[in-house]
Structure 1
């Protein structure tokens, strides 16, 4: 930054820059030392109106720096007549950009530039070594970037947190700065945000609720905690902040590294990495949000539910799907509708522009049906928990369990064979050294064994993933049981209850062939999927002449 606001017409720009990497070189590159050298040179050589332009803690590979930008702005206005730096690396470490400024920008505006330690002075003609210095400075930045990336990669692969500050809801452990502990005050806000999302609220709605309740924003909380100046509108939450919190898997207690990357050390823009390139380390800090709740929130966020123009939002919006075309059913209401008239219709049929039939169901009817099914499932659970559990396992896991037993046996055999191949490698290597077998024979055998071991390793990896998925499915029953116990005795449905019980509802087209309107509904429960029940218990039936569902 500059030290003055009112500049004279003819100034000598004394530019100093220091990055975090340069600071490792010691006092010689410090801002104070650079200012001392620059001012002495300007004074000794009688340069008029010396004015400092400073960028402290800014990398030389970028030219988007506050101090530099101010100096260039004044140069374009014709105010700057001379630019003095300690050496060419202070100007920057991108040899193309440095070359542009020294050979084109300054020359076109008749601005003299001087690099004291490098002996560069544009008034004394071209310095043949200057382009090489700029190139070496660029190489230095590239090499430093590689070293830093290697350190970061090592830390990331070891499961260390790569971000300098923990997310909202956590603080650094005073006894170990590498560990995160729960910040009880903000963790309660995080839990509330997730609860509101489970209750069917979107980020914008949640932001409005927190604002109305005068909850300090993230920025305001940190400012108050650290004794800094409070920002304007310190209760006004932004929906982007809410969305960011809802997308943080770290709240489940894990560390996720390498979520972003940059293409080059000269490009500071971070790009989203592919999920398969993430490194995830579980149980690295106390969890604020249960993993199942986090996963359910991600599912709800993927099926965004926006209020209608009336401001009302369907209780089952985002959960209903057409049995024939697979599209969602949209909530339909107007200001003139009574609650009994509000309904859902297939989006592929809506306004008669689609190709699907009229999959239609009233919300009041669906509320009653879903509530009855929850009562039925709850009764099945408490009447005989073991039988209920066996029914779920039999439906979901009977065939899978046979496959998993087979997979486990094959995994054990594959692992034994891999270990055996390691021993074989050692033996044939010793035979090759001793001359027991020819080197050609050794190469052929080792190639065959390596190919077999590689194939077995890939097999183990794939089969283990399948077994892990199965084991996870078995634990899902306990999660569903916890939901049932949580809502024993409910009398009406709320968005939270619906979202915790129901993953998906499939609506079939009505069948009127019998003279009655019969409509099949399938409920896919969270954690356990579908439950086989009597066909009649999954069907809504109404007389043709009565108000249809």
Structure 2
């Protein structure tokens, strides 16, 4: 009789203690068994790093194919679980196809033998136990991985583009200087109003390696699906995902998808509310303010123009007559070679009977008007020399001072109470007060200290939060000051400050046109 030997080893075996499950151990045992039973060995099949629930094991499937072609008579495995941990496959092959094909299955250690009809129930119980084991193992492993995620430890096989794994600290990321410079450039281009498609085109034109190509060039064994022949090129989805990735701001973002079952490789994407996000786990490539500004710009994203840039006021200019968006029309060349751009009401073009605003508005003049108004607001509200409100009249400052005064008083009170407790104890030792008096007074002092410390914790947390908010506001004010010095209106500045620009119709007599700017502040 000819026998096929099947061996399997997977990572799940790392959890076994005191049991040698190596491929070599399995082969030696099964070869010796085959010799003792007088079987001729047809072929040895072995799968390494494959779970017993995996139905796509290459050697396993090759063996099944050979079995269906009647190329051997017996299948030998160390245990039934080496063959499979899937109860469905136990029934399909051990109690179905193998009988149909005239194949005998023997698991040496388990004493499983399909020629022995009396132990069929035992095989079925083994199958159930093996599957339960794998289900419990899957749950335990998932719990361990989720705990690591919540601790802010990186558990992925490959670090995201721009980072690499810290060789000196497991689960930590450090910046990859070469790739990080490309990430900074991508965010910089996005801030200037360049769309994801054009960013990808620029990087491809300059032959900047894509994240996949970069990994492969640096010796990282990173494999991609064969269905993506353009993985070596930058694409707009790749750029768009990078611009959205909070990892670049220094936060660890994991658990964005999960397997539907331990028996399936299929994964599903989870809603953002279920992601595991731990802030400030590693050095940021992109500062927080820049990252948040880019997110605002992405929320208001619109189609880029013919040159791949997004117009500064795109989807922000609306008709004062009907409220529809105004869109850019044809351009007319000026004497100096530049082009004059116009916007007009989209609704009027489609349904003149609904909106009578047929005015074409000079886009350059509109941009200049918005920029001048921004500069005027910056000069009025962010110039310290023009701030006339006295500090003592500022309600926010008053509340902050009151909290700091209360905090100082409470800390002093806690110190006094602790000293009083010490003195009280000395009085007890000296016999000035008895044990009952000491206990009652001590309890009162301790309760006072506990209440004071609770209030101290609340005040410190509120002051810390207020300080963080003040720091954010100051950073934004400084950013606005810097942006307001630019020579022309940028998409970043428009997204930060402008809600919309309402353009009215022109007065037929005076030619005047009312422009109203609605701000985000």
Instruction: Flag whether TM exceeds 0.5 (same fold).
Output: yes
Task: Give the structure 2 partner of residue 351 of structure 1.
Answer: 350
Alignment partner for residue 109 of structure 2, among 105, 110, 117? 117
Task: Say which is worse superposed, 264-273 or 466-475, in terms of deviation.
Answer: 466-475
CA distance in 1 between counterparts of 2:319 and 2:69 reads 68
For the residue of structure 2 that corresponds to 1:28, the secondary structure is: coil
Pick the aligned partner of 1:252 from 249, 252, 265: 249
Report matched runs for 1:132-143 at 5 Å: 132-143=125-136
Distance 1:38 1:520, change over 3 A: farther
Matches within 5 A, 1:63-462: 63-72=55-64, 82-125=74-117, 127-226=120-219, 236-307=233-304, 310=306, 314-316=310-312, 318-320=314-316, 322=318, 329=325, 331-333=327-329, 339-343=339-343, 345=345, 351-352=350-351, 361-380=361-380, 384-387=383-386, 401=396
Flag the 1:514–1:335 CA change in 2: closer, same or farther, 3 A. Answer: closer
Whole-angstrom CA distance in 1 between matches of 2:170 and 2:208? 28
> Which segment is superposed worse, 33-42 or 54-63?
33-42
**Which residue does the alignment assign to 2:516?**
521
Name the residue aligned to 1:15. 6
TM-superposition CA deviations, 1:174-213 (whole Å, max 9, x none): 3322332221111111111211222223333222221111
Say what the alpha-carbon RMSD is for the aligned residues.
4.8
TM-score normalised by length of structure 1 = 0.69
Secondary structure of 1:265's aligned partner: coil
Corresponding residue of 2:29: 37
Paired position in structure 2 for 1:483: 479
CA shift for structure 1 position 248: 2.0
Q: How many residues align?
A: 466
Q: Which consecutive unaligned segments of at least 5 residues does structure 2 have? A: 408-453
Change (3 A) 1:57 1:389: farther
Q: Secondary structure at the match of 2:172?
A: strand
Partners in 2 of 1:237 and 1:505 — Cα distance?
33
1:424-464 CA deviation, whole Å, 9 max, x = no partner?
Answer: xxxxxxxxxxxxxxxxxxxxxxxxxxxxxxxx9xxx99x99
CA distance, structure 2, for counterparts of residue 93 and residue 505 of structure 1: 62
Give the match's secondary structure for 2:182: helix
Specify whether residues 216 and 408 from structure 1 end up closer, same or farther in structure 2 by C-alpha distance, changes over 3 A only: same
**Which 5+ residue runs of structure 1 have no aligned equivalent?**
1-9, 413-455, 531-549
How much does 1:289 deviate?
0.8
| CA distance in 1 between partners of 2:212 and 2:504 (Å) | 51
Contact 1:404 / 1:470 at 8 angstroms: preserved in 2?
no
